[in-house]
Every structure is written in C-alpha cells, then in structure tokens.
Amino acid sequence: MESAFEQDGCARKKWWLWGGGALVLVLLIIVGCPCKRTPPHPAMRPETVAAYKAVPIADAQREIAAWRTVATDTAVAKTVVARDNSGAARLLVPGAVELPCVFSKMRSDRACWDLVLPVNLAEADGLAFDFWCGDVTQFTGFSIYFKCGTGWRHTEFSPLKEREWHRVTIPKARVRTQEGKPTGWETVSAIRLCGWRGGTNDTELAVANLSFAAPPKTNTVEELAAEERQNLAWLKRLPTKKGEWRGFWCHAYYGLSGKSWAETIGLLKTNGFTAVVANLAWAGTAFYQSDVLPVAPQVATRGDQLAACLAACRAQGVECHVWNVCWNLGHHATKGLQDKLTKAKRTQVCFDGTVRSGWLCPSHPDNLAYEIRSFVELAKRGVDGVHLDYIRYPDESHCFCAGCKSRFESKYGLSLTNWPAQVRQDTDVKALWREFRITNITALVRGVSTHVRREAPGVKISAAVFQNPETNPGAIGQDWADWCRKGYLDFVCPMDYNYDSAVAFKGVVFSQKRHLAEATVPLRPGIGLSCWKDDRRHDARRVAEEILAVREAGLDGFCVFNLDARAIPVLPLLHIGPLK
Ligand SMILES: [Zn+2]
C-alpha cells in the first residue's frame, strides 16, 4: 500500500490522457534534443533571507537557508523528492534546482516534487521563490501544497513568464483549500510543487531562491507612470489579425448602465469587436416578448430588449448572439413560478433531499421541451446565434428528484433498493448514473441543434462551458468535447477565467485545443476580464496577452467576459493594440 504521503496532496482533477511519444524521446536522447533548453542559472539573491532578520522567525530562516546550501545532485535527490514518476531534480547552482517533466513517459496527470523541508511558517506571510517554466503549453496549471501533520494545505499559482526567471509569491492568505486535517503552519514538513500535465512533450521547471514572501511592494507615482507608458508602447506595437471573431459577453439586460443598446454596441464596434453575446434569457425570465418564457415586467416599460439589441447590431454590423441560461430560472423568476414548477415536480432535488426550486430538472421531458422551444423562438427572431449557458448540472449532488429515480430506473431496467446512496456506492450503478446525467444534458444540446437548424437555418449554436473537458462530464454532466465531435455546436467558448496570468491561460487553451483535435468546431476561449483579482491597471495588457495566446494557438477568435464598467477603459486600449 502506498503511504499517505503518496496518496494525498492530489486535490486536483485529472486532465489529459497519456499519449505516445516514447520512441521519439529515445531518439532525441540518443542524438540530443535540439529543442531542449535547460534553464539558465538564476541570479542568486542572498538578500531574500537576510531581508527578514527583523522578523521573529529565526528558526524558519535557518531552515530555508539550509535548504539553499544543498550543493550536489545527491543532496538534491534527498531534499527534493520526485513523486508520481516525475524526473529527478537536478542541481543548477546551490539553492536552485531543475525539475524535469518527462510527460512523454509519465502516466500521471502531474509532475510533482516534495521539498522535504521542515519549516515553521507560523510567523511568515507566505512563501516566495524564483520560478522558471519551460514550454507552458504542456501545462494546465500549477499547485503548491504544504504538508502539515498528516493533512495538506493547497493553492494554485500561475507563472507570469515563459522561459524566463521570475518571482512567484504564495501569500498564506491565499492558501485556503485543505485536504485531511492539516495541523498549524508551524508544522510544515514538506512543500509540494506540481505542474499539471496538459500535453505529452517533455519540458522542465526550475525553482530557486526559496524564501518567505515579501510584503507587497508599493510603487511610486513615477514608477506607475513609467509602467503605463511602457504598456501603451507595447500595445501599439502589437499586430492585428483580419477575419477574427471577437465576441463580448454582456450580462446587462438593458445594455451598459446609462447607455442605450445603440451606444453599447457602438462601443464594441468602434473598438474592433465583431459580436455581442447578450444575456437576454434565463429559464425563468425573458427580457423580450416571448411566448415560451415568462416575460420580465420591465419589458412593458423599457421595451423589448432583443429587438433593441438586434436593431443596434444590424445598424452597426455586429453579430448578435443571444445568451440563454439553461435550467437555472435566474434571480428574476417569481416565487410563484418556482412554487408552481416545484409542485409539478419539475425542479431539482439535492442528494440530501433539499429541494432546489431555482433549477429545472434536466431529465424531466417537459423541461427539455420547454428549453428547446425557448431556443427555437430566439433563433427565429433573426439573431446570428443562440448561446447555451449553464448547460450542466449545478454540481455532483444534483439531481436526485423522484422523477430522476424513476426515469433512471426505467432507462436501465433497474430497481434501486437504496436510493440515492446506491448511485455512489455501487460501481455499476455509479457508471450508469454518470451516463444518465451526461445524456440528459447532451439531449438539450442535440435538441437545440436539430430544431434550430431545421427551423432557423444559418443561426449559429454555441455554448459557454467549463474548462476541463475530461472531468466536466462526471462532475456536472457536461461532455462538451462530445458535442463538438458530433457537430452539435458551431463554436464553443470554454470559460478560461480563473488563472493568475496570461501564461497560465495559454497552457489551458493549448490543452483544450489538443483535446478537440478530432473536432472541426472552432474553439473560441473565454477571457475572464471581470473575474481577475489582479490590479486593474494591467487589465488591457492582460487581455491583449491572452488574445496573442489565442492567435498563437491558431484559433479563429475569442470571447471576453464581461461587458461592464471595468471593461469600458480597456476597450480603446485594445483598439490601439491587437484589435486595430
Ligand atoms: Zn431530477
């Protein structure tokens, strides 16, 4: 049996399947790989330890300083222990190690090393280190774990640069996830670093100058101004790309606050965008005259928002895609509607029996028909596209309503004696349950595709989907790679929002592209502007960097989330930059 050390510290879902390439590797080893680039030696920073002399963490300083005296490969092998068949760490210079990611040979979904470093981090702000990331397109993300007692603390981090040494800081405040029951920060016995596999090419990481996290640096006014000038000059130098699909999700039902739809669409058009994806429908509310969905009362006073948005798009030559939230009734649905649907047993029930009256049950045939009708109605209004969102279950704990039980039993000829626990405990039933949930969600995508193409040919069908095509089917019933392979969609927008850098975004996009290799459906990644935690001064630069990553991946477009007050100052900067 594996020790707990090997089994734990793995709280991240599996990404990509292993593929071949071992033969190529052998040949490359024999003849020497022309593309292999060993990280250059980093500049060593004795000050990173010395800077903390004032802080009462002398023990921890000594421990980290001791780690930095590791000066031979033998010593490195004892201190930096490779896990999951990852390559053995190699010494670059004392205090700096190279971590080879042998993805062509490994079956594991991550390359992973433990810095066996008992350290008391109770008084420290966190951890900092210099990081070097080789081919970022081979990774879908990076994690740091702290082993405390028998449990772990965990967070993800993103490299900020490719093939260039740069400082990464991990403030303790960001380390929120736990596995098992970790003891206090004074009991850290190992620090685990993981690079999550996105591809099958070998590459390498490197770490140096491990120290405590420095408090955030405050820039002077002069430094801020200089940075702004540099960003502007950089943006101006960027090339544009002809024929690119450039969408913007717009959550606002009435256009941008204080602006008409004509002004809202005008802002997109003037600044180089080609499409709006406007959220005008939820399962419980339409912001236009609908014969299928309940109509928002404001439509009577503020007018039909679909008509207004569409007219503005037509006048300015911008594509109009309507974003319709599936299953979720939305915040504007009345209590009366929720009660009526719950009474009709059309809403979801959680594993623990709680009624989720805001979500329609996907396996209920009336709900499926209702959703399809809402998309067909929209498509026939003359829009360029219909866009499925929330095309999934809320999570693994839904839906366990009585209707799901009987429809599940009748579909597979089962008679369950221990519902709902049986679908989690019995391996065979569990596999069927997984398939049942995927089938229910896919039925809506297939239904929309069939009916919209028949009744409103030419209208594009697209979907906003979660990031991970491999784990999404089991977790939320969303098998979007399958929808792409079967041609149900005309394009797909993974919501690639939750990364700290454009470099990490790029790794995810390349992995998604590889996953869709057999499909011809365009992948148009979602850029998460309004979800980023970073300092807003860098918004335009970061959107531009992600657009460049989309282009580098050879994709034909992207969609930015979301058109709001934060986006307004970014638009003209993109226009002088990659959207000239
Ligand atoms: Zn149900």
Q: Ligand 1 center to residue 419 CA distance, Å?
A: 13
Do 330 and 418 fall into the same domain? yes
Q: Ligand 1 center to residue 346 CA distance, Å?
A: 7
Q: Give the residues across from 285 on adjacent strands.
A: 282
Asked if residue 245 belongs to a domain, the reply is: no
Asked if residue 52 belongs to a domain, the reply is: yes
Q: Ligand 1 center to residue 441 CA distance, Å?
A: 12
3-state secondary structure of 407: helix
Task: Report the percent of the chain where pLDDT is more than 90.
Answer: 75
Q: Ligand 1 center to residue 380 CA distance, Å?
A: 30
DSSP string, 417-442: SSTTTHHHH-HHHHHHHHHHHHHHHH
Asked if residue 435 belongs to a domain, the reply is: yes
Contact by Cβ (8 Å): 504, 159:
yes
Report whether pLDDT(13) > 80.
no
Q: Ligand 1 center to residue 430 CA distance, Å?
A: 16
Q: Ligand 1 center to residue 389 CA distance, Å?
A: 19
Q: Ligand 1 center to residue 370 CA distance, Å?
A: 15
Q: Ligand 1 center to residue 493 CA distance, Å?
A: 27
Q: Ligand 1 center to residue 289 CA distance, Å?
A: 29
Q: Ligand 1 center to residue 467 CA distance, Å?
A: 25
Element (H, E) at 550: helix 539-552
Q: Ligand 1 center to residue 345 CA distance, Å?
A: 8
Report whether pLDDT(32) > 50.
no
Contact by Cβ (8 Å): 142, 193:
yes
Q: How far is CA 308 from CA 263, 280, 302, 304, 315, in A?
A: 11, 11, 10, 6, 11
Q: Ligand 1 center to residue 398 CA distance, Å?
A: 7
Q: How many helices (H) and strands (E) does the chain have?
A: 19, 22
Q: Ligand 1 center to residue 567 CA distance, Å?
A: 38
How does pLDDT run across 183-216, given as a tens digit for each residue?
Answer: 999 899 999 999 999 999 999 999 988 877 766 6
Distance CA 340, CA 335 (A): 8
Q: Ligand 1 center to residue 363 CA distance, Å?
A: 6
Do 207 and 266 fall into the same domain? no
Do 158 and 62 fall into the same domain? yes
Do 173 and 289 fall into the same domain? no
Write down the pLDDT at residue 62.
56
Asked if residue 106 belongs to a domain, the reply is: yes
Do 203 and 265 fall into the same domain? no
Q: Ligand 1 center to residue 403 CA distance, Å?
A: 6
How does pLDDT run across 241-290, given as a tens digit for each residue?
Answer: 999 999 999 999 999 999 999 999 999 999 999 999 999 999 999 999 99
Q: Ligand 1 center to residue 401 CA distance, Å?
A: 4
Q: How far is CA 102 from CA 18, 21, 130, 144, 185, in A?
A: 12, 11, 21, 19, 32
In this prediction, residues 543-564 reach a mean pLDDT of 97
Do 389 and 495 fall into the same domain? no
Do 302 and 187 fall into the same domain? no
Last residue of a domain, one of 489, 514, 545: 489
Do 193 and 290 fall into the same domain? no
Q: Ligand 1 center to residue 383 CA distance, Å?
A: 32
Question: What range does the domain containing 147 cover?
Answer: 4-212
Distance CA 204, CA 184 (A): 32
Residue 170: closest CA among 126, 104, 218, 124 = 126
Do 27 and 74 fall into the same domain? yes
Q: What is the pTM of this model?
A: 0.87
Contact by Cβ (8 Å): 480, 472:
yes
How does pLDDT run across 311-346, given as a tens digit for each residue?
Answer: 999 999 999 999 999 999 999 999 999 999 999 999
Residue 226 dihedral angles phi and psi, to the nearest 5°: -65, -40
Into how many domains does the chain fold? 3
The domain that holds 323 is classified in CATH as: 3.20.20.80
Q: How many CB atoms lie within 10 A of CB 119?
A: 27
Residues with CB under 5 A from ligand 1 (ion): 361, 399, 401, 404
Q: Ligand 1 center to residue 443 CA distance, Å?
A: 14
Distance CA 470, CA 389 (A): 19
Last residue of a domain, one of 489, 519, 535: 489
Place of tokens 């319709």: 324
The domain that holds 40 is classified in CATH as: 2.60.120.260
CA angle centred on 311, ends 305 and 314, rounded to 5°: 140
Last residue of a domain, one of 180, 212, 244: 212
Do 462 and 350 fall into the same domain? yes
Packing angle, helices 539-552 and 502-515, rounded to 10: 30
Which of 147-151, 174-178, 429-433 is least confident? Answer: 174-178
Q: Ligand 1 center to residue 461 CA distance, Å?
A: 26
Q: Ligand 1 center to residue 360 CA distance, Å?
A: 8
Torsion of CA 51, 54, 56, 58, to 10 degrees: 50
Do 570 and 477 fall into the same domain? no
Report whether pLDDT(41) > 90.
no
Task: Report the percent of the chain where pLDDT is more than 70.
Answer: 88
Asked if residue 559 belongs to a domain, the reply is: yes
Asked if residue 239 belongs to a domain, the reply is: no
Distance CA 346, CA 341 (A): 5
Per-residue tokens: 123: 């008084």
Distance CA 287, CA 91 (A): 62
Distance CA 422, CA 428 (A): 10
Residue 332: closest CA among 305, 294, 367, 304 = 294
Asked if residue 244 belongs to a domain, the reply is: no
Locate all alpha helices (DSSP H) within 330-479, ordered by sequence.
Answer: 335-343, 365-379, 402-412, 422-425, 427-455, 472-476
| Size (the chain), residues | 580
Q: Ligand 1 center to residue 356 CA distance, Å?
A: 10
Class of residue 514 by CB neighbours under 10 A (exposed 0-12, middle 13-18, buried 19+): middle
Asked if residue 346 belongs to a domain, the reply is: yes
Do 474 and 495 fall into the same domain? no
Distance CA 180, CA 36 (A): 39
